[in-house]
């Protein structure tokens, strides 16, 4: 609910268990009155506008508590601004780098699904410049989407020098930040740090999101939250380009959070009459700890962000991917053999990875030439696609559209189509360069090439890869390339999905290098990491689960001896870990005997029984890996009829007690039975008992070493 009190010019955004309140003060400045969890109950306004706006002490002129909803650069310069603009001076005089925004008007719209959008218009009293602070409230899912729209109402161009999607002012305190950082094959490593006084940055300085920092945060008071208790403020950016999240912890304990475009090498010119809308910052607050925050982000992404295919897919299909089985050694015969084995074990989507096009026999050539290689598939890909369809599976292909190998026909024809500075070296990563999405002809060329691939080969699924960061970012678009690249990718994906409504897409960037709420609006799932070692994946997947739902997180079972780490793990462990997301298979099925294939089939059949609960249920991290070297996760359906409890021990910590997993979200009075893959019943107990005493994680087996794992399926039986 959005309530407005015209007397005090106060807006109350009241959500299921949280609120955000703001007001236009007597000077017309729109300031934040507060935000945070609220007691569950009727949606009544919280702030009346009677209390002082600025509860922080002021030290000299440094108004450390300044809580404008849009912080502008001009009257002061010592805080991070949301917005900084340079206007041309009158008669060629000094440019004016000063914006003040004052309340002009507002409107509240309601969507058919119940979401409400508050748009507050703010004008500069002198310059012909307006901004709209936009807040879309999803009261049921407890998430606010915030973005800023700006317009040059003058008759000369203006330069925007810094622009965030939003600035949030959190209550005073010493804060801890939980987020995820990493690198190739080690994405999403969770990090928990006490914010120092000063500004802490999470950022990407590439044309894509990257995996150095992932664009989300969970904030709690120092020592004030765990997985199921305590106040947590959370947020994530719906943007897949260079981004920045800045956490400004002031000496007086105020915390300001800014999220949006990175100011690094930023430039945005607005012509007369031109408008720009930023991507959204999604944010909220809850009182039920880190799992509570994650659950809200998961539900929002599932319900409001992830695309809907036509017909809709209630659950993600079981995938097979050829990469670790075939690498670049593709042939029609080998792929058909893999497809037959895949179908026989229960796979629903068969995807051919890299190497099917141009001169792409290894990673040094062919990227950019999106024609089926006659050398590899002399009769084209259609016979394979047809066979895959005949076997009852969907057909998928790997592409990496944004890139080119210098050894390719495309590059030979258009050496200027890549990011570069004239007469300067062009740094290659994995022997490839990035196409210049500042050129409309590049984006148009790719739109045609991709549509042709999908159309001619009856493609149902694209694994869309992006395997390097930017260097020498020279573009015909100038500094705007940092935005244009992501906008071009969005336009390509949106265009394809409009034209092929049944198509689904996976976002891959050397693994989890482009995962964010912006790309997830046009991709159905993401490739979490090239690291498929089940034990290494526990931390990777746990970090990803802080922000992203299991439904979107693609996880493969691969070889007994892992290709990335060389570690050998039992098949059960590999399945137990991969079943925590959207299951895929990456093993060389042609090298397995019938008994092994039969085991795969049994696991896949089990996964199909539990996947609705895993993919669409509520996720509780019952025990974090960092706590005792073991990770225990529960997924429970909202109606409490079913739950899945997954335990994986990664380390053995001698003499350290692994506490029983106290389940959550069950019906206290109902009786539940817990079954394993083979329908063996382990326990039968009431919901209240399972929540109060918990389930012994090793189920009395006494086994508890690295690689010990178990997936139990709980069903309400009375």
Cis peptide before 165 (omega within 30 of 0): no
Cβ contact 232:292 at 8 Å: yes
Residue 354 lies near ligand GLA (rule: CB under 6 A): yes
Residue 120 lies near ligand GLA (rule: CB under 6 A): no
Q: Which is nearer to ligand GLA, 164 or 326 (CB)?
A: 326
Distance CA 453, CA 627 (A): 48
Concerning whether 465 is annotated as a catalytic residue, the answer is: yes
Q: What's the per-residue H, E or C state across 394-463?
A: EEEEEECCCEECCECHHHHHCHHHECCCCCCCCCCECCEEEECCCCHHHHHHHHHHHHHHHHHCCCCEEE
Q: Which is nearer to ligand GLA, 577 or 632 (CB)?
A: 577
Q: Which is nearer to ligand GLA, 84 or 394 (CB)?
A: 394
Q: Helix, strand, or coil here: 294?
A: helix
In whole angstroms, the minimum distance from the beta carbon of 653 to ligand GLA comes to: 32
Q: Which is nearer to ligand GLA, 282 or 351 (CB)?
A: 351
**Eight-class DSSP state of 550:** G
In whole angstroms, the minimum distance from the beta carbon of 703 to ligand GLA comes to: 33
In whole angstroms, the minimum distance from the beta carbon of 187 to ligand GLA comes to: 11
**Size, binding site for ligand GLA by CB under 6 A:** 11
Distance CA 456, CA 516 (A): 30
Residue 465 lies near ligand GLA (rule: CB under 6 A): yes
Residue 521 lies near ligand GLA (rule: CB under 6 A): no
In whole angstroms, the minimum distance from the beta carbon of 561 to ligand GLA comes to: 18
Q: Which is nearer to ligand GLA, 377 or 527 (CB)?
A: 527
Cβ contact 248:255 at 8 Å: yes
Concerning whether 530 is annotated as a catalytic residue, the answer is: yes
Q: Which is nearer to ligand GLA, 19 or 323 (CB)?
A: 323
Cβ contact 543:189 at 8 Å: yes
Task: Name the active-site residue from 354, 530, 533, 576.
Answer: 530
The number of residues in the chain equals 718
In whole angstroms, the minimum distance from the beta carbon of 179 to ligand GLA comes to: 22
Cβ contact 206:184 at 8 Å: no
CA distances from 544 to 190, 348, 431, 481, 539 (A): 8, 24, 29, 28, 9
Residue 508 lies near ligand GLA (rule: CB under 6 A): yes
In whole angstroms, the minimum distance from the beta carbon of 396 to ligand GLA comes to: 11
Using DSSP bridges, classify how beta strands 232-237 and 281-286 pair: parallel, antiparallel or unpaired.
Answer: antiparallel
Span of 1-9, 109-117, 159-167, 504-512 interacting with ligand GLA by CB under 6 A: 504-512
Q: Beta strands of 499-552 (E only): which ranges?
A: 504-507, 525-527
In whole angstroms, the minimum distance from the beta carbon of 435 to ligand GLA comes to: 17
Q: How far separated are the first and last CA of the chain, in Å rounded?
A: 38
Span of 130-138, 144-152, 220-228, 505-513 interacting with ligand GLA by CB under 6 A: 505-513
Distance CA 536, CA 555 (A): 12
Q: Which is nearer to ligand GLA, 236 or 510 (CB)?
A: 510
Q: Beta strands of 197-267 (E only): which ranges?
A: 198-203, 216-221, 232-237, 243-249, 255-261
Span of 140-148, 210-218, 414-422, 508-516 interacting with ligand GLA by CB under 6 A: 508-516
Q: Which is nearer to ligand GLA, 103 or 527 (CB)?
A: 527
Kindly identify the residues of this chain, within the stretch 313-342, that bind ligand GLA according to CB under 6 A: 323
| Candidate list 72, 342, 510, 531; residue touching ligand GLA; CB under 6 A | 510
In whole angstroms, the minimum distance from the beta carbon of 148 to ligand GLA comes to: 34
Residue 530 lies near ligand GLA (rule: CB under 6 A): yes
CB atoms within 10 A of CB 425: 9
Residue 584 lies near ligand GLA (rule: CB under 6 A): no
In whole angstroms, the minimum distance from the beta carbon of 530 to ligand GLA comes to: 5
Phi, psi at 50, each rounded to 5°: -80, -30
Residue nearest to ligand GLA (CB): 354
- Point out which residues pair with 648 in neighbouring strands: 631, 709
Span of 115-123, 412-420, 503-511, 517-525 interacting with ligand GLA by CB under 6 A: 503-511
Task: Name the active-site residue from 460, 465, 524, 533.
Answer: 465
| Candidate list 511, 518, 543, 687; residue touching ligand GLA; CB under 6 A | 511
Kindly identify the residues of this chain, within the stretch 395-454, that bind ligand GLA according to CB under 6 A: 398
Q: What's the per-residue H, E or C state across 597-611?
A: HHHHHHHHHHHHHHH
Q: Helix, strand, or coil here: 574?
A: helix
Phi, psi at 694, each rounded to 5°: 90, 170
Residue 502: alpha-carbon gap to chain centroid: 22
Phi, psi at 76, each rounded to 5°: -140, 160
* CB half-sphere exposure, 502, CA atoms < 13 A: 9
Distance CA 444, CA 491 (A): 10
Q: Which is nearer to ligand GLA, 429 or 609 (CB)?
A: 429
Span of 211-219, 434-442, 506-514, 613-621 interacting with ligand GLA by CB under 6 A: 506-514
Span of 83-91, 124-132, 211-219, 507-515 interacting with ligand GLA by CB under 6 A: 507-515
| Candidate list 69, 353, 387, 542; residue touching ligand GLA; CB under 6 A | 353
| Candidate list 467, 523, 587, 613; residue touching ligand GLA; CB under 6 A | 467
Q: Which residues have CB under 8 Å from 113's CB, separation 6+?
A: none
Distance CA 588, CA 321 (A): 10
In whole angstroms, the minimum distance from the beta carbon of 397 to ligand GLA comes to: 11
In whole angstroms, the minimum distance from the beta carbon of 183 to ligand GLA comes to: 13
Alpha helices (H) along 556-669: 571-578, 594-616, 625-628
CA distances from 318 to 199, 211, 542 (A): 43, 26, 21
Kindly identify the residues of this chain, within the stretch 250-269, that bind ligand GLA according to CB under 6 A: none
Q: Which is nearer to ligand GLA, 148 or 318 (CB)?
A: 318
Q: Which is nearer to ligand GLA, 230 or 406 (CB)?
A: 406
Q: Which of the residues are catalytic? A: 465, 530
Residue ranges that bind ligand GLA, judged by CB under 6 A:
323, 353-354, 398, 465, 467, 508, 510-511, 527, 530
């Amino acid at each position: 609910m959005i309530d407005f009190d015209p007397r005090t010019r106060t807006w109350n955004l009241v959500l299921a268990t949280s609120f955000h309140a703001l007001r236009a003060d007597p000077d017309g400045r729109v300031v934040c009155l507060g935000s945070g969890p609220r007691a569950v109950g009727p949606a009544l306004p919280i702030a009346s506008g009677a209390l002082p706006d600025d509860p922080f002490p002021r030290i000299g002129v440094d108004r450390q508590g300044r809580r404008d909803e849009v912080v502008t650069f001009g009257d002061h310069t010592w805080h991070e601004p949301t917005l900084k603009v340079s206007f041309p001076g009158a008669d060629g005089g000094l440019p004016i780098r000063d914006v003040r925004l004052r309340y002009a008007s507002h409107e509240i719209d309601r969507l058919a699904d119940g979401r409400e959008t508050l748009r507050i218009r703010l004008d500069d009293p002198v310059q012909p410049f307006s901004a709209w602070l936009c807040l879309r409230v999803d009261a049921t899912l407890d998430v606010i989407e915030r973005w800023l729209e700006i317009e040059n109402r003058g008759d000369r161009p203006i330069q925007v020098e810094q622009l965030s999607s939003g600035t949030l002012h959190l209550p005073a305190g010493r804060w801890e930040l939980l987020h995820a950082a990493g690198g190739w094959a080690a994405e999403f490593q969770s990090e928990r740090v006490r914010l120092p006084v000063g500004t802490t940055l999470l950022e990407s300085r590439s044309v894509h999101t990257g995996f150095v920092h992932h664009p989300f945060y969970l904030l709690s008071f120092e020592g004030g939250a765990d997985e199921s208790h305590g106040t947590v403020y959370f947020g994530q950016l719906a943007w897949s380009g260079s981004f920045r999240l800045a956490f400004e912890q002031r000496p007086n304990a105020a915390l300001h959070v800014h999220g949006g475009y990175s100011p690094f090498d930023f430039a945005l010119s607005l012509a007369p009459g031109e408008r720009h809308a930023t991507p959204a910052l999604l944010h909220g607050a809850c009182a039920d700890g880190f799992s509570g925050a994650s659950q809200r982000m998961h539900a929002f992404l599932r319900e409001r962000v992830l695309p809907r295919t036509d017909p809709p897919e209630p659950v993600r299909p079981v995938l097979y991917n050829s990469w670790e089985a075939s690498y670049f050694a593709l042939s029609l015969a080998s792929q058909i053999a893999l497809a037959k084995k895949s179908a026989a074990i229960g796979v629903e989507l068969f995807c051919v990875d890299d190497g099917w096009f141009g001169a792409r026999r290894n990673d040094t050539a062919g990227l950019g030439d999106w024609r089926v290689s006659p050398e590899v598939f002399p009769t084209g890909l259609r016979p394979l696609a047809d066979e895959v369809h005949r076997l009852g599976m969907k057909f998928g292909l790997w592409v990496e559209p944004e890139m080119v190998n210098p050894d390719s026909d495309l590059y030979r024809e258009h050496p200027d189509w890549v990011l570069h500075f004239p007469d300067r070296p062009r740094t290659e990563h994995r022997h490839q360069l990035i196409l210049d999405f500042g050129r409309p002809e590049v984006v148009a060329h790719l739109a045609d090439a991709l549509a042709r691939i999908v159309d001619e080969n009856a493609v149902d699924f694209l694994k869309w890869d992006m395997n390097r960061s930017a260097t020498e970012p020279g573009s015909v678009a100038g500094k705007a390339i940092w935005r244009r690249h992501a906008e071009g990718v969005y336009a390509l994906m949106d265009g394809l999905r409009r034209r092929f409504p049944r198509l689904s897409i996976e976002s891959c960037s050397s693994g989890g290098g482009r995962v964010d709420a912006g790309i997830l609006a046009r991709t159905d799932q993401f490739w979490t990491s090239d690291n498929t070692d089940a034990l290494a994946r526990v931390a990777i997947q746990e970090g990803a689960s802080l922000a992203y739902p299991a439904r979107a997180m693609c996880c493969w079972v691969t070889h007994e001896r892992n290709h990335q780490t060389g570690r050998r793990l039992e098949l059960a462990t590999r399945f137990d870990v991969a079943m925590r997301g959207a299951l895929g298979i990456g093993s060389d099925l042609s090298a397995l005997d019938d008994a092994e294939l039969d085991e795969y089939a049994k696991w896949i059949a089990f996964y199909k029984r539990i996947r609705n609960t895993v993919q669409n249920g509520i996720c509780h991290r019952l025990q974090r890996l960092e706590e005792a070297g073991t990770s225990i996760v529960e997924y429970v359906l909202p109606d409490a009829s079913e739950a899945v409890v997954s335990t994986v021990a990664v380390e053995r910590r001698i003499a350290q007690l692994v506490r029983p997993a106290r389940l959550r979200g069950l019906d206290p009075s109902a009786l539940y039975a817990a079954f394993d893959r083979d329908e063996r019943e382990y326990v039968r107990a009431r919901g209240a008992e399972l929540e109060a005493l918990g389930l012994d994680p090793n189920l009395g087996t006494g086994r508890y070493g690295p690689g010990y794992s178990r997936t139990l399926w709980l069903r309400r039986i009375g």
